[in-house]
A and B are shown apart, each in its own frame.
Chain A
Amino acid sequence: MKFTWFHLMPWPNLAEDFRHEHRSVWVDLPNSVFDPARGHEVYNEYLDQLEYAEQLGFDGIGCNEHHSNGYGLMPSPNLIAATLTRRTSKAAIVVLGNSIALYNPPIRVAEEFAMLDCMSGGRLVAGFPVGTSMDTNYAYGTVPALTREKYAEAHELIIKAWTEREPFAFNGRYTKLRYVNCWPRPVQSPRPPVFIPGGGSVETYDFCLENDYNYSYLSYTGYLRAKLLMDGYWERVSERNKDDSPYRAGFAQVICVGETDEEAERLYAEHVSYFYNRCLHIYPGFADAPGYRTVKTIKAGALSQMTRTASEAIGYMSWKELVDDRYIIAGSPETVRQQMEELIKTLRVGHIFCLMQIGNMPAEKVKHSSRLFAEKVMPHLKNIWGEDSHDDRFWIHPLEERAVPAPIPVAATAARPAMVAE
């Protein structure tokens, strides 16, 4: 198993009556709600947490891309990843990912990911999401029905830019470049492992299988509701006669660990409630711009979360309901271990994206929960798919010898005024 400690970077100061004052946490939430000075603290706190996760022994640390979003302060995940390259040394840096249809020209992604791979010594996991409708269509203005075609073309360009060793011309419909020449190029050859976060699009299954990309389902609704979707994925794997390596698939899970079940509730209930009640308050009109999904995907189902009743209900669920219905996995290390094992086996996943900073959860609690998970849960799950099980196709290949940031010489700081005087 590979465990990635994943940060959504939520804004932690949404007001109590937020749901009544604003129709959506995403797209049109005014930035007057954001306080930059508090933002300074929040970014630093969140980066500390990601760095701490490496110390705890998580295999990866991760972030993603959202725009105009009150629960995801990462319009540029590559900036977050860049800072992580310097204060971490072992963990995979999992960027899940860059919404490649939004970059103009998309060669920018090939370049920045290559920089991150070089800076980190080959620790980059490169995620290529199509992007949600909220981000891609409403916040970034991409025409819904053209989003997938644009995405496919950007993907083709990026992979070719990484693998070609001579400049080439790229005559795409959306991007025309006379000289494609990706400097730098990634450490990992022929490319960093690629992860595709998906939400049930049938086309995405095939895309992952054709390219040996990991398919990861990022959901906040837990593993019981994910079963149907993941079953569909594994059926497709078998139809396409691909091997069923669990590392082909990943799942994101909200996890809260306390010393006991009671402690978990006492420590984390208010923050979980903040997340489900305030952070996931999304105006349904933004959820799915017409034309963004293909007819094939709509026909395949996965619509149950889209009725107004369903989307409203989730905001008012109690701790007990969220735990009993397995939206979240929370409790003592033993409770969490049992449920995690059930998750991993029933969904058949080799990668877990652990969501452990939830909503407005303060740093001390985040550390407590993460440490308990790393020390008392993770070791029991590590070998679920066999002793030292691993799949080379779906993980990083860092350089054996990696550079270490040099200490900043004290003398240089002292000498600076003199140099200015010269």
Chain B
Amino acid sequence: MIDVSNGRAQIRVFEAGKGQDLVFFHGAGGLMPDDPFVARLAQHYRVHAPLLPGYGDSEGAENFRDMLDITLLAGDILDALAVTNPIVVGHSMGGMIAAELAAVAPQAIAKLVLICPAGIWLDEHPIPDLFSLMPHEYPELLFHDVELGTRLITAGLDLENLEFLAEFLITAGRQLGMAGKILFPIPDRGLKDRLYRIRAKTVIVWGDEDKLIRPVYAREFSGRIPRAELVNVAAAGHMVTIEQTEKVVAAIALVA
């Protein structure tokens, strides 16, 4: 646990591996302690994966209300980790936060990887309303391999069991309650007008079959970030980190 933002947040950080520093900001769904993507990254890098307040046992969600609060929180976390010239990687909501931070503090981040980041909205390609989804609707949107997704997400879910339902609602309420501050009801807090400020060497990774944030959004990001390279990954949905882990690891190596 680290104490950051002048005592306003207590952050759990998963740390593993040796080598170059890599900081990973998770998506709205959070991170499991045995996350296979983080484990894989740890074979190459010194990985630091902080959990935002509201996720796991990280606390302080009530002190962070909007994009600037959360961007500065991410900056405070980077400072507290005492990393040197890290690769900053963010997935989905984590990509939105990483991109904001790289735009707000361009001198601080030299290597940036955005994996199907949120943060831009195109009227012609509306992003499904993550917040009103029922758990059984997640796999279809998040995975190219829906069967795999179903196994990973809904295994052991029994929403007719009241005790389980309460646990589930508490976790969802804490996590998506926090995520909602930058994603609800429309995941756009003006990022696209700030992307020009990013100085980092940037790689953008997108699953070709992403049904949550369609690959058309990749062009928006790569067109607006000055030194961006786009890596499209076949046979992967929004959870490209799980479905095509090796391709994502290879893409990260482009900025290392």
- Residues in chain A within 8 A of chain B (CB atoms): 27, 137-138, 141, 143-146, 173, 283-286, 288-293, 295, 298-299, 301, 303-304, 306-309
Interface stretch (choices B18-26, B168-176, B200-208, B221-229): B168-176
> Nearest Cβ distance between residue A356 and chain B, in whole angstroms?
33
Instruction: Assess whether B132 is in contact with A303, with CB atoms less than 8 Å apart.
Output: no
Instruction: Assess whether A137 is in contact with B184, with CB atoms less than 8 Å apart.
Output: yes
Instruction: Assess whether B175 is in contact with A290, with CB atoms less than 8 Å apart.
Output: yes
Instruction: Assess whether B176 is in contact with A291, with CB atoms less than 8 Å apart.
Output: yes
Residue of A nearest to B173 (CB): A290
Instruction: Assess whether B169 is in contact with A308, with CB atoms less than 8 Å apart.
Output: no
* CB neighbours of A27 from chain B (8 A): 132
Instruction: Assess whether A283 is in contact with B132, with CB atoms less than 8 Å apart.
Output: yes
Closest 5 CB pairs of A and B: A291-B177, A290-B176, A145-B177, A285-B132, A141-B185
Instruction: Assess whether A289 is in contact with B180, with CB atoms less than 8 Å apart.
Output: yes
* CB neighbours of B159 from chain A (8 A): 307-308
Interface centre among A27, A144, A145, A308 (most CB of B within 10 A): A145
Instruction: Assess whether A293 is in contact with B173, with CB atoms less than 8 Å apart.
Output: yes
Instruction: Assess whether A146 is in contact with B65, with CB atoms less than 8 Å apart.
Output: yes
Size bracket, chain B contacts: 20 to 34
Q: Which of A145, A292, A309 contacts B178 (CB 8 A)?
A: A145
User: Whole-angstrom distance between the alpha carbons of A314 and B165 in the complex?
Assistant: 19
User: Whole-angstrom distance between the alpha carbons of A120 and B49 in the complex?
Assistant: 61
Chain B residues 148 to 191 lying within 8 A of chain A, measured CB to CB, are 159-160, 162, 165-166, 169-170, 172-181, 184-186
* CB neighbours of A291 from chain B (8 A): 173-174, 176-178, 180
> Nearest Cβ distance between residue A105 and chain B, in whole angstroms?
18
* CB neighbours of B174 from chain A (8 A): 291, 295
Provide 28 A-B residue pairs closer than 8 Å at the C-beta atoms, listed in order of the A residue. Answer: A137-B131, A137-B185, A138-B185, A141-B184, A141-B185, A143-B184, A143-B185, A144-B131, A145-B61, A283-B132, A285-B137, A289-B131, A289-B184, A290-B172, A290-B180, A291-B174, A291-B177, A293-B169, A295-B170, A299-B170, A301-B166, A303-B166, A303-B169, A304-B162, A306-B169, A307-B160, A307-B165, A308-B160
User: Whole-angstrom distance between the alpha carbons of A345 and B61 in the complex?
Assistant: 42
User: Whole-angstrom distance between the alpha carbons of A307 and B160 in the complex?
Assistant: 5
* CB neighbours of A306 from chain B (8 A): 165, 169
Instruction: Assess whether A285 is in contact with B134, with CB atoms less than 8 Å apart.
Output: yes
> Nearest Cβ distance between residue A267 and chain B, in whole angstroms?
37
* CB neighbours of B176 from chain A (8 A): 144, 290-291
State whether the Cβ of B133 lies closer than 8 Å to any Cβ in chain A.
yes
User: Whole-angstrom distance between the alpha carbons of A293 and B176 in the complex?
Assistant: 12
Interface centre among B131, B165, B176 (most CB of A within 10 A): B131
* CB neighbours of A304 from chain B (8 A): 162
User: Whole-angstrom distance between the alpha carbons of A263 and B134 in the complex?
Assistant: 42
Interface centre among B176, B181, B185 (most CB of A within 10 A): B185
Residue of B nearest to A294 (CB): B173
Instruction: Assess whether B173 is in contact with A295, with CB atoms less than 8 Å apart.
Output: yes
* CB neighbours of A286 from chain B (8 A): 132
* CB neighbours of B175 from chain A (8 A): 290
> Nearest Cβ distance between residue B108 and chain A, in whole angstroms?
28
Instruction: Assess whether A298 is in contact with B65, with CB atoms less than 8 Å apart.
Output: no
Q: Which of A144, A292, A298, A308 contacts B170 (CB 8 A)?
A: A298
Instruction: Assess whether A146 is in contact with B181, with CB atoms less than 8 Å apart.
Output: yes
Residue of B nearest to A284 (CB): B134
* CB neighbours of A141 from chain B (8 A): 184-186
> Nearest Cβ distance between residue A205 and chain B, in whole angstroms?
19
User: Whole-angstrom distance between the alpha carbons of A293 and B160 in the complex?
Assistant: 19
User: Whole-angstrom distance between the alpha carbons of A285 and B176 in the complex?
Assistant: 13
* CB neighbours of B177 from chain A (8 A): 144-145, 290-292
* CB neighbours of A298 from chain B (8 A): 166, 169-170, 173
* CB neighbours of B170 from chain A (8 A): 295, 298-299
User: Whole-angstrom distance between the alpha carbons of A145 and B176 in the complex?
Assistant: 9
> Nearest Cβ distance between residue A44 and chain B, in whole angstroms?
34
> Nearest Cβ distance between residue B229 and chain A, in whole angstroms?
34
Instruction: Assess whether B165 is in contact with A303, with CB atoms less than 8 Å apart.
Output: yes
Known: A290-B177, A291-B173, A295-B173. A144 touches B162 (CB 8 A): no
Residue of B nearest to A173 (CB): B65
